[in-house]
Amino acid sequence: MPARASSPGRTLLLRGSMALGLLVFATLLVWFDRDAYVDQTGKDGVSLLDALYYSTVTMSTTGYGDIVPLAPHARIINAVVVTPLRVAFLVLLVGTTIEVLATEGRRIIIDARWRKQMRNHVVLIGYGTKGRAAAATMRRNNIPMEKVVVIDGNPTALQDANLDGLAAIEGNGTRRDILRRAEISRAREVVITLDRDDSAILATLTVRQLNPSAHVVVSVREHENVSLLRQSGADSVVTSSDAVGRLLGLSAVNPSIGTVIEDLLSSGEGLEIAERQVTADEVGRPPSAVERERVVAVVRNQTLRRYYDPTVAKLEPGDMLVVVRRSSSDITTESLPSKERSKPAPDDGGW
């Protein structure tokens, strides 16, 4: 089971309560056996207050010596029972307090240093199936994982994010204080993959208020909520239910088309779709003349134009090309010696 996070104050309160319980137990132990102790100062026996006083100075290792065990069995009890209680008391009340305060102080320092260095990073709100797939795709496209911050309220999801090498913040991605901890105001990209559309809309509104310039991509379940998300400030909206439905329909009617689309959506094998800068030797040439890749769109002046658009009949400096190409892992596998290949790479058809 994953460990539950606990605040330093709550931890200290819990440890203090346990230490107090040990003190009460030692007090009752002395008081019920009070006839075996002697008060060398008052000479009037050991009262409940005296038992509390004796237990306090004994457990704290102060030991004034005015109240002492006289009977042999009382001394044995002090050696066998009270001494381990004293050690446990000191560990709980002193050692744990220092540990908690030192750990919290170190965490605050590390957190402050990390937040100071975060610029132009990616904030990923939600680390479920869609969030993990988004992070994996960013990794395959050479986005540094130290520049990706995950926000999720599920401790298991946070553990998964940490194991994947990502910084993770526990909390609700719709809350301003949680988003500020992720330095949302200085983020370049925000990817929202929450399970509920209303939460996605609220998170988009909050993100847009805190960072008007970030590029916000949101996953939504129902198509009728797409317009609401765009009005809330989302730059790109992906409808998961519609996308899955279309893929299922294509796979049922035209299995080959469904297979190709699924291949394009998956990374690391077969075909992949990517965006890159036009090269100097490609300037002035038509999109169809690009070698080893198929250009499907051109981004010019922040406007997406399809490959058949006459305005992009010739490529210009600064254009971004959206291309379909072979997966880099397939190319790497093909470049290995034949003994190291798990299987032959398929023919790329001249791409």
pTM: 0.55
Residue 248 in any domain: the answer is: no
Please report, in angstroms and rounded to a whole number, the separation of the first and last CA atoms in the chain.
49
Average pLDDT value over all residues in the chain: 80
Q: Is 126 left (phi over 0), alpha (psi -120 to 50) or beta?
A: left
What are the contacts of 70-78 at 24+ separation with CB within 8 A? 70/36, 70/37, 70/38, 71/35, 71/36, 73/33, 73/36, 74/33, 74/36, 74/37, 77/29, 77/33
For residue 77, give the DSSP letter: H
Q: Per the structure, how many domains does the chain have?
A: 3
| pLDDT value of position 250 | 67
Beta strand 294-300 with 320-326: parallel, antiparallel or unpaired?
Answer: antiparallel
Confidence grade of residue 9 (pLDDT, cut at 50, 70, 90): low
- Evaluate whether residue 263 is within a structural domain: no
> What are 299-338's pLDDT values in tens digits?
998 888 998 999 999 999 999 999 888 876 555 445 445 4
Query: Does 97 share its domain with 126?
Result: no
Predicted confidence at residue 102, as pLDDT, reads: 65
Same domain, yes or no, for 140 and 186? yes
Do 188 and 286 reside in the same domain of the chain? no
319, part of any domain: yes
Same domain, 95 and 177: no
Please give the DSSP secondary-structure letter assigned to residue 167.
Answer: E
pLDDT digits (tens, 9 = 90+) for 51-91: 888 888 888 777 777 888 888 888 888 888 888 888 887 77
The CATH number covering residue 311 comes to: 3.30.70.1450
Q: Let me know whether 66 and 131 are in one domain.
A: no
Kindly state whether residue 257 falls inside one of the protein's structural domains: no
206 and 187, same structural domain?
yes
Which domain CATH number covers 63?
1.10.287.70
Q: How far is CA 256 from the centre of its chain?
A: 38
In this structure, are 216 and 279 located in the same domain? no
Confidence of residue 350 (pLDDT cuts 50, 70, 90): very low
pLDDT in tens, 230-258: 898 999 888 876 666 766 776 777 778 77
What is the domain range of residue 202?
119-243
Give a yes or no: residue 27 inside a domain: yes
The pLDDT value given to residue 342: 45
Structure tokens at 110: 């590390």
Asked if residue 15 belongs to a domain, the reply is: yes
Of 87, 115, 143, which closes a domain? 115
Cα-Cα-Cα-Cα dihedral sign, residues 102, 104, 107, 112:
negative
| Whole-number pLDDT of residue 321 | 92
What single-letter amino acid sits at 239? T
In a domain, residue 85? The reply is: yes
